[in-house]
Amino acid sequence: MPLVTLQNISLSYGKFPLIDHVNLTIKSDERVCLIGRNGAGKSTLLKILKGQVSADGGVVRCASGVRIAHLEQEVPNDTEGKVYDVIAGGLGAEGELAKLYNKLITRFADRPDDKILHELEKVQEKLDFTDAWDITQRVQSVITTMNLQADAEILSLSGGIQRRVMLARALVSKPDLLLLDEPTNHLDIEAINWMEEFLMGWAGALLFISHDRNFMDNLATRLIEIDRGKLTEFNGDFSAYIKRKKDMLEIEEKHDALFDKRLSHEEVWIRQSIKARRTRNEARVKALKALRREYADRRRKQGMAKMTVQHSDKSGKIVIEADTISFSFNAGQNLIENFSTVVQRGDKVGFIGANSAGKTTLLKLLLGELVPQSGNVNKGTKLDIAYFDQYRSSLDETKSVQDIISDGKDMLEIEGKSRHVISYLQDFLFSPDCCRQPVSALSGGERNRLLLAKLFTVGSNVLVLDEPTNDLDIETLDLLEELLIGYRGTILLVSHDRAFLNNVVTRTIVFEGDAIINEYVGGYDDWLRQRPAPSLSEPRKAIKKESTKPSSKKCSRQKLSYKDQRELDQLTANIEDLEKLITEISEQINQPSFYESDRSVRIPVEQRLAELQRQLDDCYARWEFLEDR
């Protein structure tokens, strides 16, 4: 059943309409992903659906009684108070009544008082009169479902939990259609996985904006792109969208080329032929005028960014060596404990972990910006480090975009050639007018592009990137991926974008809780395959401690059959062989030259490693079973 229908909707803010006579229908069982370039009008379209923005023309039709909730891209600045109150605020006047009831109940529990009891009775009467008792139950139910603390102050929570609170606020009204604007932005991987799982099980319709390729592939039932004011529907996953979009652009280019050729021919005719002035050619003259108008109204696709990375001379073979380093901000609560690693020239290392786990802290320790409280960090020779800061602290908001790049100069030295700063910024999709604007006027995606533009003005052989993908559109993400894959130096990358990690990094450093940090070969999916299952982690430690001899104490409790004893002895030998093979293959994969080889050579080796790891896990499980007997 259609919940919402947009008919011939238009909205303009400048020469070209931002939304140009679009039609869209959202049904009750759909999860629709809206994609497009930064500034294409995605968020505006959501606001039109919610009624926060009025269209210049067209009609928005909603089914009778349909409820729509909207989770915006950022948590509003004026959001404060306890979690319960913030969530109840999503219910309007009835929510205010629920907030007051909860506040009085809490006060009366802390300090029983006749005055408070009298106020509580009045509120109960109002709840009875408006038949709104289920409101308080609904608020408490969504708090329980989303694992939130009702009495916590929202300003004291992490960004990820704040987003969860705002999602609960949107859901408490039991909407038929939920609008989500970049719901995964600034969330860590654990929070993204939680949101994915939650929304997969949610019964209502969903229209969401996202640039997270894994998120949209896992969640969306169809993709809709907004490009130059028009909506285009794509069935299938993101890979199918990329292929069909490429075909569409090629057809568009051919059509435009034929149109331009015809227009050029007619322009030559009108200027050179006296026949054009004759009455019988008036129709041809009118047709030319129509062609000119069509050409003037043509909206060309926004160009792709043309980012290039400048390389400096090679660094030494060893880039960074950390030896049993530890660090904590509070006594007795280590973020990092006895961690050791070696980063060699050409390594592309990804850092995975929850928000506040210590990823940025570890980066600063490795770069020498922080000193470990124990252990040592040694940096290699000839290092030229370029650092992308997730907090954009190097951007002075009072300066213009142009001055951020050039410090008032007109020319830059890029790859040994002199370039005008505005020409360079146009490669990063900044128009000449935008180059003169202050940084404070830029969107989140534009700020990230500006920081990348600043980063790439200098040569480097070590790139340190802390959350570079936030707010970037898909096309820019793809280009940045290509640049990093082809980068000849060393990369240290913190990211919560699972596809980005899979495509760029050759190994990962993972924060797995309680100051435990482990290293794995490959990207995010490789980590998922290699990490030990929680139920097998403790038995694995026990095996290593007991070596190859079964415990005499265990054997004395119950003697194994001859067949089981032989299997146990064989399992011990198999475990040793498998661990040896895994170590050998891991050492082979860790070599930088491995990732320079052809993909057809790499994939069988990686598959072999994953299969050996699976066999090892099975052996451990069987070993534990026989030992317990």
Entry pTM: 0.64
Residue 207 is predicted with a pLDDT of 93
State how beta strands 68-71 and 177-181 pair.
parallel
Q: Rounded to whole angstroms, how far apart are CA atoms 110 and 120?
A: 14
| pLDDT at residue 608 in the model | 79
Quick one: which of 156, 110, 106 has its CA closest to 136? Answer: 106
Average pLDDT in the 153-180 region? 83
Token pair 């949209």 is found at 216
What pLDDT shows up at residue 228?
82
Whole-angstrom distance, CA of residue 210 vs CA of residue 479: 17
Q: What is the pLDDT of residue 126?
A: 66
**Is pLDDT at 280 greater than 80 in this prediction?**
no
* Structure-token pair, residue 115: 């005055």
Give burial (CB, 10 Å; 0-12/13-18/19+) of 259: middle
Question: Treating both helix axes as pointing N-terminal to C-terminal, what angle do 133-145 and 159-171 enclose, rounded to 10 degrees?
Answer: 140
Minimum mean pLDDT among 68-82, 209-223, 237-251: which range? Answer: 237-251
Taking the C-alpha atoms of residue 285 and residue 195, their distance in angstroms, rounded to an integer, is 60
* Residue 271 · residue 261 · CB < 8 Å: no
Predicted local distance difference test score (pLDDT) of residue 362:
92
CA gap 625, 617 in Å, rounded: 13
What share of the chain in percent tops pLDDT 70?
Answer: 80
Confidence band, pLDDT 50/70/90 cuts, at residue 592: low
What is the enclosing helix (H) or strand (E) of 136? helix 133-145
Element spanning 412, H or E: strand 411-414
Strand 333-344, strand 222-227: pairing: unpaired
* Sign of the torsion angle spanned by Cα atoms 148, 152, 154, 159: negative
Mean pLDDT in residue range 484-508 = 91
Query: Which distant-in-sequence residues (6+ apart) come within 8 Å of 8 by Cβ?
Result: 21, 22, 23, 57, 58, 59
Q: What is the pLDDT of residues 513-550, one digit of tens each?
A: 888 899 999 999 999 888 876 543 343 333 333 333 33
Higher pLDDT, 107 or 217: 217
Q: Name the 3-class secondary structure at 429.
A: coil
User: Would you state the pLDDT for residue 602?
Assistant: 66
| CA–CA distance, 133 with 137 (Å, rounded to integer) | 7
Instruction: Write a three-state SS string for 370-411.
Output: CCCCEEEEEECCCCCEEEECCCCCCCCCCCEHHHHHHCCCCE
- pLDDT reading at 18 higher than 80: yes
Phi, psi of 570, deg, nearest 5: -70, -35
Tell me: the pLDDT tens digits for 310-350? 788 888 999 999 999 998 877 667 789 899 999 999 999 99
pLDDT of residue 330: 72
Q: Residue 132: what pLDDT?
A: 54
pLDDT digits (tens, 9 = 90+) for 440-493: 877 667 787 888 888 888 888 999 988 888 777 787 788 888 888 888 899 999
User: Tokens 């064989």 belong to which residue?
Assistant: 570
Name which of 381, 256, 250 is nearest 319 in CA terms: 381
What is the rounded CA–CA span in Å between residue 480 and residue 459? Answer: 16
What is the Cα–Cα distance from 161 to 167, expressed in whole angstroms? 10
Q: Place 36 in a pLDDT band, splitting at 50, 70 and 90.
A: confident
Average pLDDT (43-48) is 90
Count of residues in the chain: 629
Looking at residue 154, the DSSP 8-state letter turns out to be G
* Mean per-residue pLDDT, 164-189: 84
Mean pLDDT of 94-105: 69
Whether the per-residue pLDDT at 563 is higher than 90: the answer is no
Q: Phi and psi at residue 354, in whole multiples of 5°?
A: -70, 160
Question: Which has more confidence, 157 or 233?
Answer: 233
Distance CA 420, CA 497 (A): 34
Rounded-to-integer distance, Cα 23 and Cα 224, Å: 11
Q: 421 burial class (0-12, 13-18, 19+ CB within 10 angstroms)? A: buried
**351-389 CB burial, b ≥16 within 10 A, e <16:** bbbbbebbbbbbbbbbbeebebeebebebbeebbbbbbb
Q: What is the separation of C-alpha 553 from the centre of its chain, rounded to a whole number of angstroms? A: 52
Instruction: Give me the pLDDT at residue 540, please.
Output: 39
Position 547 scores a pLDDT of: 37
User: Mean pLDDT for the chain?
Assistant: 78
**Chain centroid offset of residue 320 CA:** 28
**What one-character DSSP code corresponds to residue 533?**
P
Given a cut of 50, whether residue 403 has pLDDT beyond it is yes
